[in-house]
């Protein structure tokens, strides 16, 4: 990745309504989730919902929707694991980029957890609170204001993830482009932070995540994501 020439992220040609922004978040939450056979059964419905969005945002989602619609389930599952679980710079856990598996990450996870609880969301035990699909679902269906605030605080991470996926040619890069299109433009400070995160990489100290290492979360009543 050329840190001196960070590519400008795609911007929507028209302003999105609150309803469209929440729809984008909901669709992206589902598209970034593990492509189980059951999840893939709903791709047609996701395509129909994406068709309701302005073309400036819809164009980012169409490639991954078609990819998931036409791919073999086993191949799609393997691709997902290789994309998000095997590459440190493509993790869907937002606090991992800055803190890795260190003690400081535990405090960052608590911020997510407290935001969810403040909005009255009951937490289960399926996923860490900084998992991007969980945050997107929270923003779309529970607390748009609080969810957007958390997303906005992690614009450098979201942009770094978009760049990483784009550089690897992943069709998932369009999902991140759609997410960032719902947020304020990248600032000069954001660009400096993106360069720092890209240069340093996640710390590797594997301690200090209790109680999160054994107590991940998701929406109560939702199916396990992995």
Query: Can you give the residue ranges of every domain in the chain?
Result: 15-200
Q: Per-residue pLDDT tens for 47-80?
A: 999 999 999 999 999 999 999 999 999 999 999 9
Q: Per-residue pLDDT tens for 5-39?
A: 444 455 554 589 999 999 999 999 999 999 999 99
Q: Is the peptide bond prior to 211 cis by the omega test (within 30 degrees of 0)?
A: yes
**CB distance 162 to 180 below 8 Å:** yes
Q: How far apart are the first and last CA of the chain?
A: 29
CA 116 – CA 203 distance, rounded (Å): 26
**CB distance 24 to 53 below 8 Å:** yes
Q: Which of 142, 140, 157 is nearest to 31 (CA)?
A: 140
The torsion angles phi and psi of 93, rounded to 5 degrees, stand at: -95, 110
Q: Which of 106, 139, 94, 120 is nearest to 215 (CA)?
A: 106
Q: Per-residue pLDDT tens for 81-98?
A: 999 988 878 899 999 888
Please report the pLDDT score of residue 175 as a whole number. 98
Q: Per-residue pLDDT tens for 186-201?
A: 888 988 888 888 887 6
pLDDT surpasses 80 at 115: yes
Class of domain 15-200: mainly alpha
pTM above 0.75, yes or no: yes
Q: Which of 133, 132, 105, 148 is nearest to 39 (CA)?
A: 133
- DSSP code of 4? G
User: Which comes out higher in pLDDT, residue 133 or 107?
Assistant: 133
Please report the pLDDT score of residue 1 as a whole number. 38
Please report the pLDDT score of residue 123 as a whole number. 66
Please report the pLDDT score of residue 209 as a whole number. 43
């Amino acid at each position: 990745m050329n840190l001196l020439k960070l590519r400008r992220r795609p911007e929507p040609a028209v302003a999105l309504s609150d309803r469209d922004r929440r729809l984008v978040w909901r669709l992206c939450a589902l598209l970034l989730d593990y492509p189980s056979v059951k999840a893939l059964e709903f791709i047609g419905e996701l395509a129909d919902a994406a068709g309701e969005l302005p073309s400036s945002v819809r164009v980012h989602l169409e490639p991954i929707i078609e990819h998931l619609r036409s791919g073999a389930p086993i191949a799609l599952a393997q691709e997902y694991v290789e994309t998000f679980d095997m590459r440190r710079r493509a993790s869907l856990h937002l606090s991992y980029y800055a803190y890795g598996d260190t003690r400081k990450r535990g405090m960052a996870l608590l911020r997510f957890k407290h935001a969810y609880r403040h909005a009255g969301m009951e937490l289960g035990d399926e996923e860490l609170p900084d998992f991007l699909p969980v945050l997107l679902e929270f923003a779309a269906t529970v607390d748009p204001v609080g969810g957007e605030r958390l997303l906005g605080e992690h614009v450098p991470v979201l942009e770094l993830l978009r760049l990483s996926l784009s550089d690897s040619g992943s069709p998932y890069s369009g999902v991140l482009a759609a997410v960032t299109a719902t947020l304020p433009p990248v600032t000069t400070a954001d660009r400096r932070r993106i360069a720092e995160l890209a240069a340093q990489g996640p710390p590797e100290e594997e301690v200090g995540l209790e109680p999160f290492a054994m107590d991940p979360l998701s929406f109560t009543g939702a199916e396990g994501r992995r």
